[in-house]
Amino acid sequence: MKRTENFQFAKDKADVTEAIRTRLQNVIPDIEWPIHAPLIDAIHKLKSEKNAILLAHNYQTPEIFHGVADYTGDSLGLAQIARKTDAEVIVMCGVEFMAETAKILNPEKKVLIPDQRAGCSLAESISGQDVRNLKKRYPNVPVVTYVNTSAEVKAESDVCCTSANAIEIVEALNSDRVIFLPDNYLGKYVADNTDVEVILWEGTCEVHEKFSAKELQDYRSSIPELKIIAHPECPPEVLAEADFVGSTAGMIKYVDHERPSSVAMITECSMSDNVAVEFPSIQFIRPCNLCPHMKQITLPKILASLQELKFEIQVDSLTADRAFTAVNRMLDFSKK
Which of 99, 94, 232, 96 minimizes the C-alpha distance to 170? 232
Axis-axis angle for helices 269-278, 248-258 (nearest 10): 40
The reply to whether 147 and 253 lie within a common domain is no
Please choose, from the candidates 112, 87, 108, 86, the residue with its C-alpha nearest in 3D space to the C-alpha of residue 100.
Answer: 112
Residue 197 shares a structural domain with residue 212 = no
Q: What is the CA radius of gyration of the chain?
A: 20
| Gap between the Cα atoms of 76 and 163, Å rounded | 9
pTM: 0.92
Cβ burial, residue 54 (10 Å; 0-12/13-18/19+): buried
| Torsions phi, psi for 202 (to 5 deg) | -100, 25
Tell me, yes or no, whether 335 lies in a domain. no
Are residues 113 and 25 located together in one domain of the fold?
yes
Whether 76 has a pLDDT exceeding 90, the answer reads: no
Residue 8 has pLDDT above 50, yes or no: no
Range(s) of the domain holding residue 152:
123-204
153 and 228 share a domain?
Answer: no
Angstrom distance (rounded) from CA 244 to CA 140: 35
pLDDT digits (tens, 9 = 90+) for 188-228: 999 999 999 999 999 999 999 999 999 999 999 999 999 99
Domain count, the chain: 3
Is there a cis peptide before residue 279, judged by omega within 30 degrees of 0? no
| Residue 16: inside a domain | yes
CA angle 35, 38, 44 (to 5 degrees): 130
Domain of residue 232, CATH code: 3.40.50.10800
Q: Are residues 191 and 268 in the same domain?
A: no
Q: With 90 as the cut, is the pLDDT of residue 335 above it?
A: no
Same domain, 39 and 83: yes
Q: If you write DSSP's letter for every residue of 202-244 in order, what string do you get? A: -B--TTGGG--HHHHHHHHHH-TT-EEEE-TTS-HHHHTT-SE
Over 50: is that where the pLDDT of 6 sits?
A: no
Whether 91 and 68 have beta carbons less than 8 Å apart is answered as no
CA separation for the pair 27, 21 (Å, rounded): 10
Question: Which helix (DSSP H) or strand (DSSP E) does residue 82 occupy?
Answer: helix 75-84
User: Using one digit for the tens of pLDDT, what is the confidence trace for 258-294?
Assistant: 999 999 999 999 999 999 999 999 999 988 899 999 9
64 within a domain of the structure (yes/no):
yes
